[in-house]
Structure 1
């Protein structure tokens, strides 16, 4: 059973909540996606210039990306975006809402997983668990924008998540993360 944060505002309940991948998929089906920010995240808007350091052609990773509008912001600025999201609904809605044409291909190495690529080639979204992400295929990143992935990952999986993130970073990286304080 999944918990709705609005129904359970107690910080301890939120902090120790464990959701399965099926719970996250169900949130998309039932439209319990209050975590989605249609206008983008204010923290990223405020620190975007510092985050990008005036560079172009960066590779930017979005863990648990959903349909984050910020992915298009980066692509429109000439960066390459790679995201991972468990819900195919979120990925399809991103492309539809951003009016982007795309292709989709199955990932041979992960049963049931797919990659969705914008026609421009600047955005690739992997539909799979972040723990199954084919890291060897996606390369390293200059920037990571983590708008809630660390918070959404079950507490018992934080070390595994950190290992994945560390394996994706280039030497001169920037990692911007939005977290909750309990």
Structure 2
């Protein structure tokens, strides 16, 4: 852990403090998708999901799996091809349409009370009810820090897998720094939490952001009665 020489404060904690009051509006997120600066998309799927897929599925088939703030994650198609029902939610209509186009899938748009539009394909299930699992590859680190409890409280699932991000320097975000202590604070009262792996995902893009390292931290969270 790096330390700030002047204040004696871990630099990664400085990053969290710099972000604490940061709020992005819906319009700002839509602009990121319109300008191609959302910076979360992985063209070939998430390697950690592939590596730990058996841990998430636990040998089960036909699961209902939720992707919060899904963007156009190719992992949705990957899991659908394995026979699972997928529900993805995102604020960006453009991201959803690009997902279907990229994957060569037809879809229809249906009105849903309280929701602007529902884009559904043959592998999408009903959007209500409980889920067997969640793959969060960027939702918790994307929502405004003040909204994290609302995201957590909206989940009604048996198993939750989350890929979180840590870094060392002050950075406005998103992504927003979510320390392990906050993961425990958000989920610890009703989940068993296991850290599966920390891996470096540092790239030239992150260097341009002013970061000196970029870690993805993969947790598996199992809800308990």
> 2-side partners of 1:179 and 1:16: how far apart?
19
SS of the aligned residue for 1:11 comes to: helix
Partner of 1:90, secondary structure, is: helix
Contact kept? 1:116, 1:124, Cα under 8 Å = no
How far apart are residue 23 of structure 1 and its match? 0.8
Residue of structure 1 aligned with 2:15, choices 11, 14, 18? 11
TM-score normalised according to structure 2 size: 0.64
- Report what 1:177 is aligned to: 162
Runs of 4+ in 1 over 6 A off after TM superposition: none
The aligned counterpart of 2:170 is none
Structure with the largest fraction of helix = 1
The 5-angstrom pairing of residues 124-135 of structure 1 reads none
* Alpha-carbon contact 1:115-1:124 (below 8 Å) kept: no
* Distance change in 2, residues 1:40/1:47 (3 Å): same
Larger Rg: 2
Corresponding residue of 2:192: none
3-state SS of paired residue (2:87): strand
| SS of corresponding position for 2:55 | helix
- In structure 1, runs of 5+ residues without a counterpart are 1-9, 126-136
Give the length in aligned residue pairs: 153
Number of the residue aligned with 1:95: 100
TM-score (norm 1): 0.78
Q: Give 1:33 shift.
A: 2.4
